[in-house]
């Protein structure tokens, strides 16, 4: 028995017409002699009545009296409704199908309500069900604790569910269906010449996801990477090749492609830069600053430490709260609001000198100020004024010649 896992997001499931595309992909897999696990998100997005954010509004979130355990009971309903609806329509189409909750599918999690982690998947009930059914529709984004409490596993949890189920059942691959054509070289809303990546490594995909690309959740990629499970990111609506995520870039003949220096450009906007100089604050304590930020629930990023200065970024939405902390700590800080972080990601740059120089030269040539920079083996980051974001991403996309053609899947 060969298994295939297919995950469909809320936009693919929001109407009966969009779900016809879901039925097409499931039927195509079954006709190819696969048993299929379909992982579903909640139907649609806010203000759709069963979307996650819509359900939260029922209890006046975030000003709610519901506990996190009770919130999980509520939130899990969205995916359960979706699973039953999809299973019903599959049966109407003549496909032998049934619906499972995450718990019924064997997903065991930690007790961190609203943000649990998958600890273990017991697939025995799934395997038994395949004696009767060709397709099992599993509610994504959820599981249960050892105590039997329902949990949800955070935003992007359905991607993680799909990867975990595929690994536990030794599936051939997990297919992540979305409303875009695959993982792209840049955000097409900013770069009109952005193209779908035919192949991408696990590491590159994780880095792109963590740096702002939102096609697939990085935790799902990490689960797949540990098990060497191929992931296939595809469009629900268009019959293109999409993106294969694996250990190596391979062409259709199985030979490894020559790595480009840069695979893709990701970005995060609406952030602020904080600089704290030793000259103005001779006695500041980095430990005290980081502890205060953590205690306030403020996530800081892009940290640069030198003997004379500490620099980091934080979301603009937390800036007023952060200013209060700086005042309490008696710190004089320099702020740059409305910044954007750009990440150039590529396994091909590892060990190759001069890539950072190319990035800096290209941006400086076009009068784009670099507020901060850092690099690793496979990623180079720059911080720029947000008003220059679109121009900067386009310049880097052009500099590294990322606009190659999209291949057809059929």
Please state the residue numbers annotated as binding site for ATP. Answer: 7-10, 178-179, 214-215
Which of 163, 141, 153, 113 is closest to 41 using CA atoms?
A: 141
Q: Which two tokens stand for residue 224?
A: 């797949």
Cβ atoms of 137 and 98 within 8 Å: the answer is yes
Can you name the residues that pair with 62 across neighbouring β-strands?
none
Q: Distance between CA atoms of 347 and 261, rounded to whole angstroms?
A: 7
Positions of E strands within 285-358: 301-305, 309-315, 334-345
- Residue owning tokens 């100020």: 369
Positions of E strands within 140-258: 142-144, 150-152, 174-178, 199-201, 231-235, 243-246
Which residues are annotated binding-site positions? 7-10, 52, 79, 178-179, 214-215
Q: Distance between CA atoms of 325 and 320, rounded to whole angstroms?
A: 9
Can you name the residues that pair with 335 across neighbouring β-strands?
274
Neighbours of 69 (CB within 10 A): 14
Neighbours of 123 (CB within 10 A): 20
Q: Which two tokens stand for residue 383?
A: 């911080």
Degrees to nearest 5, angle at CA 193 with 190 and 194:
70
Which residues are annotated binding-site positions for substrate? 52, 79
Secondary structure of 351-389 in HEC code, one letter for each residue = CCCCHHHHHHHHHHHCCCCCCEEEECCCEEEEEEEHHHH
Which of 352, 359, 9 is closest to 161 using CA atoms?
A: 9
Q: Distance between CA atoms of 301 and 290, rounded to whole angstroms?
A: 11
Q: Distance between CA atoms of 162 and 217, rounded to whole angstroms?
A: 11
Q: Distance between CA atoms of 328 and 398, rounded to whole angstroms?
A: 46
N residues, the chain: 410
């Amino acid at each position: 028995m060969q298994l295939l896992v297919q995950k469909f997001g809320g936009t693919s499931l929001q109407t009966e017409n969009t779900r016809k595309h879901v039925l097409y992909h499931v039927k195509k897999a079954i006709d190819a002699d696969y048993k299929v696990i379909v992982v579903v998100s909640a139907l649609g997005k806010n203000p759709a009545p069963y979307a996650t954010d819509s359900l939260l509004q029922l209890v006046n979130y975030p000003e709610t009296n519901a506990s996190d355990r009770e919130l999980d009971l509520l939130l899990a309903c969205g995916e359960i409704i979706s699973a039953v609806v999809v299973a019903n329509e599959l049966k109407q189409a003549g496909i032998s199908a049934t619906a499972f909750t995450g718990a019924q599918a064997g997903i065991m999690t930690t007790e961190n309500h609203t943000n649990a982690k998958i600890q273990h998947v017991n697939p025995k009930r799934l395997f038994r069900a395949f004696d009767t059914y060709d397709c099992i529709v599993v509610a994504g984004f959820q599981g249960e604790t050892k105590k039997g409490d329902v949990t949800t596993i955070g935003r992007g949890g359905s991607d993680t569910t799909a990867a975990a189920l595929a690994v536990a059942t030794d599936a051939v691959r997990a297919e992540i269906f979305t409303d875009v054509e695959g993982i792209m070289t840049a955000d097409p809303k900013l770069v009109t010449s952005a193209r779908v990546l035919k192949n991408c490594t696990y590491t590159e995909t994780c880095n792109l996801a963590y740096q702002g690309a939102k096609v697939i959740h990085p935790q799902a990629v990490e689960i797949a990477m540990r098990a060497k499970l191929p992931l296939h990111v595809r469009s629900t609506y268009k019959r293109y090749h999409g993106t294969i995520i694996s250990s190596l870039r391979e062409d259709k003949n199985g030979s490894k492609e020559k790595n480009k220096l840069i695979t893709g450009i990701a970005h995060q906007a609406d952030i602020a830069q904080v600089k704290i100089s030793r000259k103005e604050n001779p006695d500041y304590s980095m430990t005290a600053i980081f502890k205060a930020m953590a205690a306030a629930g403020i996530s800081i990023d892009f940290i640069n430490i030198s003997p004379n200065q500490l620099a980091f970024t934080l979301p603009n939405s937390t800036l007023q709260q952060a200013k209060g902390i700086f005042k309490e700590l008696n710190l004089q800080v320099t702020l740059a609001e409305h910044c954007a972080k750009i990440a150039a990601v590529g396994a091909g740059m590892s060990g190759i000198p001069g890539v950072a120089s190319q990035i800096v030269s290209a941006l400086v040539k076009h009068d784009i100020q670099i507020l901060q920079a850092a690099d690793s083996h496979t990623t180079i980051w720059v911080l720029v004024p947000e008003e220059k974001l679109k121009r900067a991403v386009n310049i880097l996309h052009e500099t590294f010649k990322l606009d190659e053609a999209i291949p057809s899947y059929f």
